[in-house]
Chain A
Amino acid sequence: MPEPTAVHPDDMGYVPHAAGFVANEGPKLVSSRFPYEDSYTLECALATGAYTGLRAALGRTPDDVHTEVRDATLLGRGGAGFPAGVKWGFCPEGVWPRYLVANGDESEPGTYKDRLLMERDPHQLIEGCLIACYALGLSQCFLYVRGEMALAQERLAAALNDAYAAGYVGRNICDTDFSVDITLHWGAGAYIVGEETALIESLEGNRGMPRLKPPYFPAAIGLYGKPTIVNNVETLANLPWILEHGAVAYRGLGSEASPGTRLFAVSGHVVRPGVYEVEQGVTTYRDLIYGLNFCRGIRDGNDLKAFIPGGASAPWFFEEQLDLPLEARDVGAAGSMLGSGAIVVMDHTTDAVKACLRVVRFFARESCGKCSPCREGTSWEEKILERILDGHGRPSDLDLLLDIGDNISPGPYPVAAHGAAALDAVPFPPRQTTICPLGPSSVAPITSALRRFRSEFEAKITRRDGIPVQSAPVADGAPA
C-alpha cells in the first residue's frame, strides 16, 4: 500500500490525485483519507480506521446510536441544513419497512464535495449508511449517485463488492444479526432530482418531479409510500466519526449552533480555488477568500465585486458580509444561506448581468415543468435578461423582472436582520407559489444583482434614440 502522497509546494497545497482538494491545517473529519492515493480501496480504508464507527454502533442499542447523532446536532449538508437526528425522529412508530436513500445527486452550481467524497472515500459513505440503517431499523439502502459521475459509480461499485465480500454489508454484518443490502442506483441527468421527494419519484422509476406537500418529510410517506430517510452524502459521511469519537467531541468543534466541520468548495476568481474542510463558525468568508491557509485572495489583486455564499440558489453577498462566520444561523440572519457549501467569487471585471443570466438560465433549463409559476416564470426571466444583454432591453424590463419574481416568490420578503451590514431585503428564505424551492431560487440572483448593480442593467438598456436609460437613483440599492 503506497504512503500518503506528500503535498508538493509547487502544487500550492493541492493533493495531486484528489482534484481540487487542499489539505490545509485544521481538523479533518470527512476528508482524512483524501491524501492517500489509494484511499478508495478497502485495504487503505481498513488500515486507517474504516468501519470502527460501525463496530462502535453495533456494540450499542439502535436508540443509543440515534441519541448520539441527535446530541451531535449534525446539520444536513445538502442545502437546507435541517438537523439529521431530528429528521430521523420523524419516522412514524410501528410502520415497516423503512428505507434509506443516500442523496448523491450533487448538481447545485458551484458545489463540488459529494463527488470527491464518493470518488475518494466510498467506504466512509458506506459505513455512514450502515450506521443510519442500524439506528433506525432501515431495511434497505439506496445509494443514489448522480448519473454523470461515472468514476464515482465505479469506485462505489468496487467498494460495495469488496465490503460485501469482507462481511461489512449484506447478511449478518460483522457477525451480528444486523443485515442490510445497499443498492447502488444512479440517475440520468436532472438537477431537480436532488429535491428529496423528486429523488424518491426517480427511484420509483418515474419522471423526477417533486411531490405535493404535506407531508413535508418523506420520513412519513416516502419510497413506495413507506417511511424513508433521505440524507445527503456529506451528512452520512460524518456519522462514522461521530460514532467513533462521540457527540461531545463533535460539539467541541465548530460553533454551538453549527458544530463540526464542513466541506466548502470555493470557485471563481480566487488565487487558489479548491475544496477545504473548514471548522464551522470560527472561520469567516474573509478568512476563506483571502487567508493564506485558504484561497489567498482575488486573482491579479483585483477587487471583490460579489460572491455567492452557498450555491446558485443563495442570494449574493458583497464586501460588507465578508466578516460573517461560515455558520448557517449567522448567514441565514444576514439574508442568505450556507446552502450546499458552494462559494463562487466574482471580481470587479465580472459582468453582473451576464453572471445573473447564467444562473437564471440554469433554473430555467432545470425546471421540471410541474408548477406554472416556475415553468413559465423562469423562462421569461431568462428571455428578458437575454434581450437586455443583447441590447434589446426595454426600460420596463427591470420592473418586469421583479414582478415575475414576485409571482414565483411573493413578497413582502423578510428583511435581512443585519441592517447594519447594509444588505438589502433579499427574498430569503423565500415564500413560494410552487411545490419546491427551484423556482424561487431563480429570483435570488435577479434580486441580488438588480438591487446592487442596477446601473449596469440600465446601461445595457437603450432608448430608441440610442441613449442609455437612466432612471432616478434608488435609495435602497446604492452601488459601492
Chain B
Amino acid sequence: MSYFTEANARTAAEVIARYPRPRSAVIPLLHLAQEQEGWVTRDAMVEIADLTGVTPAEVLGTGSFYEMFRFHPVGRYLVNVCTNISCQLLGGEELLHHVEESLGVHAGGTTDDGMFTVEEVECVAACTEAPCFTVNYRYFHRADSDTFDAVVADLYAGRSPLARGAQGDHGNLPAHGTLGRLRQHIPDDRRAGVVPPEEAGEEPVWLRTTPATAPSAATSTTRAPDA
C-alpha cells in the first residue's frame, strides 16, 4: 500500500517530473511526507526511495543531514528562537529562557500536550528585526516575552497569531510540516520541458535564431513609485 495519500501521490509525481533526475526530488518529497504526518516516518522513506530510484538508507542519509526533517514526532507548533549574534545582542537568549520557562520544556523538548516543540536555532535572516522567533517557520519580529505569550494564547484559543507576526503574512498558521500553503503548478501547455543531462544535445534553439524574434511592445503602464 502506498504511503502517500492520493492527492499527495499526484503532487509527488508532479514534483518528480520537474527534475532531470528523480533523485533531485528526495528533499521536496521528504517535505511532502512531513506535511502529511508532521514528521518523517520509516514508511515514508521507503516510499520516497521507491519513487526516486534510491535505497531507503540513502533517503535517510540525505534527510538526516538537514535539521528541518524530524524522524520522531514533534509538537503541532515548532517554536524556533534565534540566539545568533544579532538576536543575542538584543535579548535573544533571554527570550529563549522565557519560552522555556513558560512552556516548561528545555530547547529540544516537546510540551506534554503535544502542542509545542522548542528549539534554539541559528540565524533565520531577520537580523534587523531582532530578537525574533518563528512558529512553524512564520516570523515574529522584534519580539519580547509578551509577544510570545500572546502567540501561545492565540494558538490555545484556536486563533491564527499571524497578525502579530511579520508584516504582510496573513491567514492560517498550518500545523508543523506544511511550509508553503500554495504549490508551484506548471500547466502542461506552458511547460518548456526538462532537459536531462544525458541528452548530449546541441545548443538551445534561441541561440541559433537570434534575436529571438521581436517581442511584442511592452504593454505595461508606469505607476509612480514611492509616495
Q: Which of A32, A55, A106, A224 contacts B215 (CB 8 A)?
A: A55
Number of interface residues of A (CB under 8 A): 115
A223 to chain B, nearest CB (A): 8
Residues of A within 8 A of B20 (CB): 140, 224
Which segment, of A204-212, A375-383, A435-443, faces chain B?
A204-212
Q: Please, which residue of chain A has its CB at the minimum distance from the CB of B65?
A: A207
Report yes or no: B190 in contact with A164, Cβ–Cβ below 8 A.
yes
A205 contacts B89, C-beta separation under 8 Å: no
Q: Is the CB of B222 within 8 A of A49?
A: yes
Is A344 a contact of B190 with CB atoms below 8 Å?
A: no
In the assembled complex, the CB of A300 is this many whole angstroms from the nearest CB of chain B, namely 13
Q: List 29 A-B contacts (CB under 8 A).
A: A3-B227, A4-B227, A20-B126, A23-B226, A32-B226, A47-B222, A49-B222, A58-B211, A97-B201, A107-B122, A108-B123, A137-B203, A140-B192, A148-B80, A154-B179, A154-B180, A170-B186, A170-B191, A171-B189, A171-B193, A174-B215, A188-B68, A190-B67, A207-B65, A224-B20, A273-B129, A344-B89, A355-B85, A362-B84
Asked whether A17 is an interface residue with its Cβ less than 8 Å from the other chain, the reply is: yes
B192 touches A171 (CB 8 A): yes
Bound-complex Cα distance A349 to B113 (A):
40
A340 to chain B, nearest CB (A): 10
Complex-state Cα separation, A461 to B179, whole angstroms: 46
Separation in Å of the A390 CB from the closest CB of chain B?
Answer: 15
**What per-residue 1/0 map shows which CB atoms of A118-132 lie under 8 Å from chain B?**
011000000000000
Tell yes or no: A109 within 8 A of B by CB.
Answer: yes
Pairwise interchain contact A268-B125, C-beta atoms closer than 8 A: no
User: Which chain B residues in 19-55 approach chain A with CB under 8 Å?
Assistant: 19-21, 23-28, 30-31, 52, 54
Residues of A whose CB lies within 8 Å of any CB of B are: 3-7, 16-20, 23, 28, 32, 35, 37, 44, 46-52, 55, 58-62, 96-97, 106-112, 114-115, 119-120, 134, 137, 139-140, 146-151, 153-154, 156-158, 160-161, 164-165, 167, 169-171, 174-181, 183-191, 202-208, 223-226, 265-269, 273-275, 308, 312, 342, 344, 346, 350, 354-355, 358-359, 362, 365-366, 368
Interface residues on B, range: 35 or more
**Nearest-CB distance from B105 to chain A (Å)?**
20
CA distance A28 to B227 in the complex (A): 14
CB nearest neighbor in B for A48: B223
Q: Tell me if B184 and A109 are in contact (CB < 8 A).
A: no
Give CA–CA (A179, B168) in the complex, Å: 33
B61 at the interface (CB under 8 A from A): yes
Q: How far is the CA of A224 from the CA of B194 in the complex (A)?
A: 13
- Which listed segment binds A: B1-9, B95-103, B135-143, B151-159? B135-143
Bound: A4/B223 CA distance, A: 10
